[in-house]
Structure 1
């Protein structure tokens, strides 16, 4: 078996993969291309925005959430590709000049949203990161927002091990994945380093398998690292892309791993910027829709 692209398109910064098991559909975004995409029954659909979009997550009510630089919006999936109909759900991050980055829903359907200083210009080109102004927020089904963390660099990875007793989240600027206990009042406790720096790239997005192992995309490292439940390195999975950004389990039996990637301006590999897939024979945890 080998890694194969799910479609023939290449993207500037493919990210945020979500597997909708009920409809056997794959959702993802091109952050720097300002697009949300869905692959269903061999048909690729997209919605074009005028600002960065970092996640594309279906809801329990039949539409979808898109996390834009201007806030979390609901998207009418029946609206045209180049005139998407959106409505603001909430503006979770009050810091001017930030944008959404990592976003995943926990098993209760609550959206956890990590933000960062906006590093993209109006054409999707790179801007320097000059401050640690990002945060982590939880958005409940009623659109209420709970601030959880501030002073973050680049929030990446959101998985909930130990029956939701904790959350694992990376700060890519720090090069590590942190573990935060979740308190009875739903606040976060004192962090500890769960997975330390590694020579194979910086931690980006992750997926968790049913045994509690975390598959972490390594930005600039050309691989995934599978971390054991205690944060130790279990294995390194080589990839045909230089800048993997995130991953998600899917397919009919949840044993296919989908990996998104970015395409560098210079020295790109053939598959850089593609979304790739391979059946790996290990069952993963399901993606969760937004409860609102």
Structure 2
């Protein structure tokens, strides 16, 4: 079995959201509770850190340069010159932004959750580059991994407490026909962030499961990657050929975290990912 390597040794409280930025040749990821955006260039080992003024649930590259952020109080933009501005601001007490993903058309699908994880307290919304926001799923608990099949006809989604990876039919803007793709059994952890590979299989990080799993398009479990960290949070393919799987991890809530908890790990040459579109805004 292909083993993991340490890409960036860190002590992120809640590392999340790895995303390969093809335009800059770097992996970007975040520490939600630490309010930090990390950048890592595997070719040069150059690392960058930018702090945010509030909890940041996701970060994605923009088509014209810069970043889009899913923050506590809404969607923010970092311009290429480093300046910050709000695209959509909507503060809901007790709620923050969580995982997000960019659809094939460049829209951001941004999730939210209550800090206490209460059922029905979170949402999943579609945000266009112009800042138009439409709530697609109005009542979820912990909105997490979102991704699309290679042909763009299916959308995969995780609401973590359900223990399921769900799949929807997708027409480019709307979702319908929600049904389970796979369910994580008791004792194996909870599904968190996910990514879809070039074969249409879904890779999902298992919070409290110390592993990443791969499920085929028909929902069969066909690969398990054990990890040393109890709380892997999300995964994404990166590198010039998109064959290296990067995995973020968390140390929050652990009485005795593993020394690598909170680090960015990588499993080289484990598969082949899909190019990820940048946000159209």
TM range (shorter): over 0.9
Aligned match of 2:86? 88
Deviation at 1:73, TM superposition (A): 0.5
Structure 2: runs of 5+ lacking an equivalent: none
Q: Pairwise mapping of residues 216-235 of structure 1 onto structure 2 (< 5 A)? A: 216-235=204-223
Aligned to 2:108: 111
Structure 1 position 288 matched with structure 2 position 253: no
Distance 1:86 1:134 in 2: 25
Higher strand fraction (1 or 2) = 2
1:52 aligned onto 2:62: no
How many correspondences in the alignment?
276
Query: TM-score w.r.t. structure 2 length?
Result: 0.92
How far apart are 1:9 and its partner, in Å?
A: 2.0
Q: Which position in structure 1 is the counterpart of 2:229?
A: 241
Match of 1:188 in 2: 175
Match of 1:125 in 2: none
In the alignment, structure 1 segments of 5+ residues that lack a partner are 80-84, 120-127
> RMSD across aligned C-alpha pairs, in angstroms?
1.7
Q: Is 1:43–2:58 an aligned residue pair? A: no
Cα distance in 1, alignment partners of residues 183 and 87 from structure 2: 36
CA distance in 1 between partners of 2:178 and 2:251 (Å):
33
Deviation of 1:129 after TM superposition, in Å, equals 2.8
1:178 Cα deviation from its structure 2 partner: 1.1
Q: Could you tell me how far apart the structure 2 residues matched to 1:161 and 1:57 are?
A: 19
Distance 1:131 1:237, change over 3 A: same
Q: Partners of 1:5 and 1:86 in 2: how far apart?
A: 31
Match of 2:5 in 1: 4
C-alpha offsets along residues 92-122 of structure 1, whole Å, 9 cap, x if unaligned?
Answer: x6744321111110122111111111x2xxx
| Paired position in structure 2 for 1:138 | 126
CA 223–281 in structure 1, closer or farther in 2 if over 3 Å, else same: closer
Structure 1: how far apart are the matches of 2:168 and 2:196? 16
| CA spacing shift, 1:10–1:77, aligned 2, 3 Å | farther
Which of 255, 258, 270 is 1:269 aligned to? Answer: 258
CA distance in 2, matches of 1:3, 1:31: 23
Moved over 3 A (4+): 76-79, 93-96
CA distance in 1, matches of 2:238, 2:230: 22
CA distance in 2, matches of 1:61, 1:183: 25
- Within the candidate set 95, 99, 104, 1:98 is matched to 95
Indicate if the aligned counterparts of 2:150 and 2:198 stay in contact, CA closer than 8 A: no
Output the CA distance in 2 between the equivalents of 1:131 and 1:207: 24
Structure 1 length normalisation: TM-score?
Answer: 0.89
